Structure 1
Amino acid sequence: MNNSITPMETTGRYLVLLPENSVDSGIRALTNNTGIQNIARAVDFEGHTFTAEQLESADTAVFDNLGVAVVSLDPDQVQSMSAATATDGAILAVEPERVVYAIADSQNTTLTTDYLKGFRDAVNHLINQATPSETELATTLLADDSAATWGLQATKVLESSYSGFGIKVAVLDTGLDLTHPDFAGRKITSQSFISGEAVQDLNGHGTHCIGTACGSKTPSIVPRYGVAYNAEIFAGKVLSNRGSGADGGILAGIEWAITNGCQIISMSLGAPTRPGDTYSRIYEQVGLRALRQGSLIIAAAGNDSRDLRTGKRLSPPMPVSHPANAPSIMAVAALDSQLQIAAFSNGSINHNGGQVDIAGPGVDVYSTWPMPTRYRTISGTSMATPHVAGIAALYAQATGLTGHALWALLMRDAQRLLLPSTDVGAGLVQAPL
């Protein structure tokens, strides 16, 4: 295997897990063990929301809904806090804050609208010279592709009578192109958690993911690519325009989404893990606490499994990325249009958590891109994740269910595949009819 995973990148700050129902006692324990007095709490700000600048300037930021603090600690304070986890029931865990990235396949396909039109013309030429049976098949496929993406077809979104109406979907990523014509007239709430950068997406990754999860039913240029076209969009910028961020910003985004009543939180981001790594105890509790508050966190499984020499999938694949490897966060693998596992898609190889839960369309996925490009086709578990998030919004509308019950529905109704569950979990996500 010639894929090497570098040790996890950290920021020098720490995450501290506090008791869910006794955040105040956790803060007192934090103060007693470190001497830190200057503590900023989300509950003290409007909408439980830190601005990016407040997050950056605070020595300690507490996310009350999650029961997690992000703290700057010197070595002696780290030692004191680590000892407190064994003796003080108000400090449950201490972990380094990680650096995370937008998860995209390193061999992404970039297809502009002009390229797609040229491709369609070439296929038409081949159809005209094919046998009748070949013509019938190719015409059907071309007609389907011209109306809606293969991902919407494979997941039965086009057959669903639901639109995500009344459901709030948070996509925590690089932001959104707020000027994109396909989002005109939509109800969009946005917030940046990256200091010095507005929500306006100068990367593209976030705009692509939001397009898949919540894009228009009638885009300005076909094909249709979006799932929950009537859902209320919450665009949280937790990754910079260069595609990177840290746990503190992600947790701030999750806190913001839960406070705003988002039933779905989609995160196409992460950090690579290695065989044998354990999941974050803090993110596991964040996932559980979010579920209990009616918010399902869905995250990308990661794209580290393509052999860089051969282009084929590693055997075994690389393990599910952080934070999707936390058992209470739904981890999404990527499939291609033949419903085969994508070469890059990570798998369930760590026995101490880190399972793939479900799969979505993740190869050659067409969706929105910042103007003037308008649309782009790329690949990754990042692209599979918003398919699942959008379909989760359809189920939430159809049933009124949230949290654990919503998770169970997605798993129950997934299309079973002739592939190992370690690769695809319950199978390909399917929309409610």
Structure 2
Amino acid sequence: MADKPELLSPAGDIERLNVALTYGADAVYLAGPRFGMRAAAGNFSDEDMEKAAALCHGRGVRVYVTCNTVMRGEGIAALPQYFERLQAAGADAVIVTDLGAFTLAKKYAPKLKIHISTQAGIMNAESARAFYDLGASRVVLARELTLEEIAEIRAKTPAALELEAFVHGSMCVAFSGRCLLSNYLAGRDANSGACAQPCRWKYRLIEEKRPDDWLEISEEGGTYVFNSRDLCMIDHLPELLEAGVTSLKIEGRTKSAYYAAAVTNAYRHALDAALQGIALPRVWSEEVNKVSHREYSTGFYFGREGPGQYYKDSMYFSDCDVAAVVESCDGEGNAVLTQRNRFFAGDTLELLTPGGVPETFTAGPMLDAEGLEITAAPHPMMTLRMRLPGIAPQYSILRKPRQAELA
């Protein structure tokens, strides 16, 4: 790994991989069709995995493959061949939870580095060092650790052991993701990547002799009793670096390409500012409010009690909607766009470009695919042309602030 701390972004499919690369990731994590904890993500076939590795390495970006499900017999039997394919495809590391998977990775893919998943629940230096002694190059720390506990682990482990920690995204009510609610309530194995997220459901009580009388658990505050807030540490990267974190991980392989773009872009600026020892401009702290998210918190980093749950609801909200994505743009700002949400000429929009500060502008005249002038882009995924306020490379994003609708 490079000497400086790493920004690690999710890549649920090839589109989100391209976006993560474009917006500044140092490394990406992704999965094949099996063995990853996000079965609902698009994921990568054997052929796609090879293409992804080549694409990333061409840009100096590392590729880590998740193989972190809790392995049953039929799964573990398929791993030797799978690890061989990952090594041949050019992956840099594999992320595992199961000790048997760890052993098989060492045997059948010795060129792959091994990272220990957060699901292993590493909470102390002895555990971290034990995995290092077995051959792991990195541990993904349990999300329940405080900054002080991370600093202690760093002080008591070999300097060559890399420490990875989550900085943004969804949190799980269960310890390090070890949950059986989905298995019991929906018949979907959470530890095999098929979680139905029953922690986001609204719950009521039923008294045995009155089965039709549903009782609220509390009179006020809501009954989403398992619903965790989302993690957001964008204003606290200096503290994470001071504690000794090597890799800053963004959660979200099942989330949108826009999420991957905006959050990677914001944390790229935040990490660069932290490394330079300068204050983070407020615009980047505000960026994370412009993607779909739940109520934010700083997780357990500033205390073992954590922030508690968010009982009112489990709804996502955002300050913006994506209007269109740039497919191409000439030197004068004339762009070919793909529509994502309905918008009109005259709307107030923001242009988000890789590495650039978001720019507010007014949407001008638009042309459809046939070159006819239109006043709106009403059809999903339609192609249109429009003049932008500047040059915008592929994967730049036009978004519509929601407050503009209320003005």
TM range (shorter): under 0.3
Give me the TM-score of the superposition, normalised by structure 1.
0.26
Give me the TM-score of the superposition, normalised by structure 2.
0.27
Q: Which has the higher strand share?
A: 2
